[in-house]
Amino acid sequence: MATRKKAGHPGAKLKKTVRTSAPAVAELLLEIGVEELPYQFIVPALASLKESAERLLRDQRLVFQSIRTMGTPCRLTVVVEGLATGQTSIVKETMGPSKTVAFDQAGQPTKAAMGFAAGQGVEVQSLQTRQTPKGEYLFAVKHEEGRRATSVLSDALPRLVSAMTFPKAMKWNETGVRFARPVRWVLALYGGSVLPIEVAGIKASDRTRGHRVLGGGKWLPVRDAGSYVTTLERQGVIVDPQRRRQLIEEQITAICSETGFLLNEDGALLDQAVYTTEQPSSIIGSFKEAYLDVPEEILITSMKEHQGFFSLRHKQTGKLAPHFIAVANNRVKDMSLIREGNERVLAARLADAKFFFDEDRKIKLEERGKKLAGVTFHQKLGTMAQKQGRVKKLVGFIAAHLCPGHDELRLVCDRAASLSKADLLTGIVGEFPELQGIMGGEYALHDGESAAVAQAIREQYLPKAIEGELPKTPAGQILSLADRLDSIAAFFHVGIVPTGSEDPFALRRHATAIVRIILESHLRMDVGPCIDHARTLVSDDGFKGMLDAGQQGRRRIVDFLFERVRHYGRVVHLLRDDVIEAVLKPAHDKPLDLVDLAQKMRALEAMTRKPEFDPLIVGFKRAHRLVEKEQWNREPVDAARFQHAAESALQQALTDERGRIEASVKAGDYSEALETLVRLKPAIDDFFTAVMVNAEDKAVRNNRLSLLKEVDDLFMSFADFSQIVVQGG
């Protein structure tokens, strides 16, 4: 038996040594041809395809230079440049039993050695004995040669395609493969040769299909990624989405320059144009000026949601122009037929919108609100009338809490809340749900309500996205906060709480909005009583609670909000996680002033950058660990028991600085409070240098621990500094 001495790690049962070489490389081109995909599916599908391909190649030990994806509504494509023609070979080394267990006194292999060899698939004679820190052990050494890339890819690529996921998927043939739309062809080339793979019952080839109109849907032979792009372009398909985006932007810019109009910019609409076309051609159309009597939000939404049209404004006035830009998936000599068709379709849509708008104004919001009892908010949480009633009570509470004595604001909030959900029963909102609130504000003005009430109704759903526009008026801020707090309290009450990635009622978005409104509008308020009141209102409506009541139920909601505060602190203020945690951990038992907490975090973050901070925290943590771990009588400090001047000096420093720290904290001057804590460092250091805390004399020991407890309490009155991570602490 071969014997080889080599040091090894005793805990490592499997050791891989990779031997790299420089194999030849080739290009991989994979195209999945499909029936037209929803444009919303394409970007995440391409991102997932790229990520999955990278992971697959790494797992299969196939070295590559780069991966890029391309796609249109009819194809998802991945190109791998510089892909090795074979797997990297490896040597696998597995540690087995010790030599004393593996061989008997005669030097013959035991059952342990033979079982290990059989389990590793090697001959017992090939096992190697090596010296390790634990003694001599057996090792199985296997040389695994890499397979050819064509063989690996033929096995792996069908799994790559089949594993793709979409928001909605379907089966369309007997293979049972699920995909967003039926797969109609597969192009798979490696090094210019077809890979013999089959996906969803379709065998791969070296052919793709051109634009269904401009290219006649003809089959097109392809040699590599370069010929793939150029061949498709000749047949009416621009396969690279970035090129389509650039082309659309250039076309729109040219139209605006020629006509003198301004584009109503919309990033989401531009994405839609990019991913609904293979050969984008932008054209300008018009509609009757009479429709401009309808609020522009209705016109813009109708153009965007129904047709995917860009709206335009007059350059001088900024008002909406009776024109639009459409991006067609076609290019012909005479585009007038396409333009006229778009104009006819839009005219019908705008006529419907004007009809709804005219009909809606015949009934006042207040009258519509009486019918909200017939609209379900949620099956476990009653009707929209009940929700509106709770929000009305909650806005009054928040207004009084935020601006005590401001009766005019309270009245505006009360009236806005009374009408806040009535527009759900209008025709326009039924047609365009995204206009909730906007139309409520419009109809409130028409009904004679004040501008302040109308604006609050308009702003109640702001921000609509995580980084969206915030409500600007105090009444709008209060109404938005109340609506969101009620939703969180209500769903938590009946046990519907976000878990993992599941959040069907967007409660995380509501919590983020609350945090943003309070912090970015600098609203100084204690959120705790507002949470309590929201929970009480839900409970008073008689819904059966599913989660813990009392303080435990409140804590769940506070923790939920704090998660969004953590996220906000990390993303917006770039704060350290330990700094955020130091401030938030003790905050449950104090007034929940989010503005105050954010100010503390920023001050603490700034202090952590100073050289004297880390040594201070090392001393504090030493004191904190002692008072946490040790047992003592916790009696007040008795100066008569001091045995060293360092004890008196530390007590005097605490006495001198405590008042300054408390005054600074009360005034919100957290930088000064932290500077004062830093001034305690010499006294704390001298104390630990001069005395032994765990003295033999029990009374002295107890007294020193009580002194350290005063240090701990003073620091903890600002934040939980035990959460701060420092070197040496």
Q: How confident is the model at residue 454 (pLDDT cuts 50, 70, 90)?
A: very high
CB 724 within 8 A of CB 617: yes
Q: Which residue has the tokens 């079982």?
A: 115
pLDDT band for position 12 (cuts 50, 70, 90):
very low
- 170 plus 50 within the same structural domain: yes
Please say if the pLDDT value at position 44 is more than 60.
yes
Domain contains 132: yes
Give yes or no: residues 206 and 273 share one domain.
Answer: no
Residue 337 and residue 390 in one domain: no
pLDDT of 549 reads: 61
- Say whether both 468 and 559 belong to one domain: yes
- Decide if 555 contacts 505 (C-beta within 8 A): no
Please tell me the distance from the alpha carbon of residue 72 to that of residue 75, in angstroms, as a whole number: 5
The confidence score (pLDDT) of residue 590 equals: 87
Query: pLDDT band for position 62 (50/70/90)?
Result: very high
In a domain, 120, yes or no: yes
Between residues 138 and 284, which one has the greater pLDDT? 284
Position 68 confidence tier, pLDDT thresholds 50, 70, 90: very high
What is the arithmetic mean of pLDDT over 421-427? 96
318-347 confidence digits (pLDDT tens): 999 999 999 999 888 788 899 999 999 999
Can you tell me the distance from the alpha carbon of 418 to that of 411, in angstroms, rounded to the nearest whole number? 11
Whole-angstrom Cα distance, residue 328 to residue 555?
A: 53
Q: Confidence class of residue 23 from pLDDT cuts 50, 70 and 90?
A: low
User: CA separation (Å) from 128 to 9, 91, 99?
Assistant: 15, 14, 10
The tokens for 11 are 């805990």
- Greatest CA separation found in the chain? 106
| 328 vs 279: CA distance, rounded Å | 8
Whether 38 shows a pLDDT value over 60: the answer reads: yes
Q: Which residue in 617, 588, 584 sits closest to 600, CA to CA? A: 584
Least confident of 214-218, 413-417, 690-694: 214-218
Are 342 and 194 within one domain?
A: no
The tally of CA atoms less than 13 A away on the side-chain side of residue 28 is 29
Same structural domain, 282 and 210: no
Number of domains observed in the structure of the chain: 5
pLDDT(591) > 50: yes
- Amino acid identity, residue 715? F
pLDDT at 365 over 50: yes
Last residue of a domain, one of 206, 234, 262: 234
Tokens of 330: 């076609």
Whether 461 maps to a domain, the answer reads yes
pLDDT band at 126 (very low <50, low <70, confident <90, very high): confident
Same domain membership, residue 332 and residue 393: no
- Between CA 149 and CA 88 the distance in angstroms is 10
What is residue 728's predicted lDDT score, i.e. its pLDDT?
A: 59
If you compute the radius of gyration of the chain from its CA atoms, what whole number of angstroms results?
35
Q: Report pLDDT for 537.
A: 95
Band (pLDDT 50/70/90 cuts) for residue 612 is confident
* Alpha carbon of residue 376 to chain centroid: 30
Separation of alpha carbons 32 and 518, rounded Å: 48
- DSSP lists the bridge partners of residue 161 as none
Q: To 10 degrees, the CA torsion angle through 711, 670, 607, 599?
A: 130
Tokens of 448: 């004679």
Given a cut of 50, whether residue 661 has pLDDT beyond it is: yes
Helices (H) and strands (E) in the chain, counts: 26, 17
Cα dihedral across residues 292, 295, 301, 306: positive or negative: negative
Which tens digit of pLDDT belongs to each residue from 672-713?
Answer: 999 999 999 999 999 999 989 888 888 998 999 999 999 999
Tell me whether strands 25-34 and 75-84 are parallel, antiparallel or unpaired: antiparallel
Residue 581 belongs to a domain: no
Which of 308, 334, 360 is a domain's end point?
360
CB 284 within 8 A of CB 256: no
DSSP conformational letter for 372: G
In a domain, 593, yes or no: no
The average pLDDT across 558-577 equals 94
Dump strand ranges (E) for 294-379: 310-314, 320-328
Report residue 477's pLDDT band, with 50, 70 and 90 as the boundaries: very high
Mean pLDDT of 483-503: 91
Q: What's the pLDDT score for residue 475?
A: 97
Same domain, 409 and 541: yes
Residue 696: CATH number of its domain: 1.10.730
Query: Does residue 586 sit within a domain?
Result: no
For 241-290, the pLDDT digits (tens) are 999 999 999 999 999 999 999 999 999 999 999 999 999 999 999 999 99
What pLDDT was estimated at residue 22? 43
Q: Residue by residue, what is the 3-state secondary structure of 567-619?
A: HHHHHCCCCCHHHHHHHHHHHHHCCCCHHHHHHHHHHHHHHHCCCCHHHHHHH
Residues 631 and 710 in one domain: yes
* Tokens 């449950």 belong to residue: 588
What is the pLDDT, as a whole number, of residue 619? 87
CATH of the domain at 214: 3.30.70.260
* Local confidence band at 20 (pLDDT 50, 70, 90 cut-offs): very low
pLDDT mean over 450-472: 94
Residue 6 in any domain: the answer is no
Look up the domain containing 695 and give its range: 608-723
Average pLDDT of every residue of the chain: 90
Taking the C-alpha atoms of residue 363 and residue 343, their distance in angstroms, rounded to an integer, is 31
**Which is higher by pLDDT, 541 or 633?**
541
What's the pLDDT at 133?
A: 85
Helix (H) or strand (E) holding 419: helix 407-419
Higher per-residue confidence, 670 vs 589: 670
* pLDDT at residue number 545: 73
Q: What's the pLDDT tens digit per position in 295-318?
A: 999 999 999 988 999 999 999 999
Domain boundary among 184, 217, 234: 234
Q: Is residue 133 one of the residues assigned to a domain?
A: yes
Q: How confident is the model at residue 550 (pLDDT cuts 50, 70, 90)?
A: low
Give me 99's structure tokens: 């030599």
Residues 154 and 138 in one domain: no
- The answer on 155 and 109 residing in a single domain is no
CA angle 94, 97, 99 (to 5 degrees): 115
Same domain, 314 and 458: no
Whether residue 346 contacts residue 324, with contact meaning beta carbons closer than 8 Å, is answered with yes
The answer to whether residue 4 scores a pLDDT higher than 70 is no
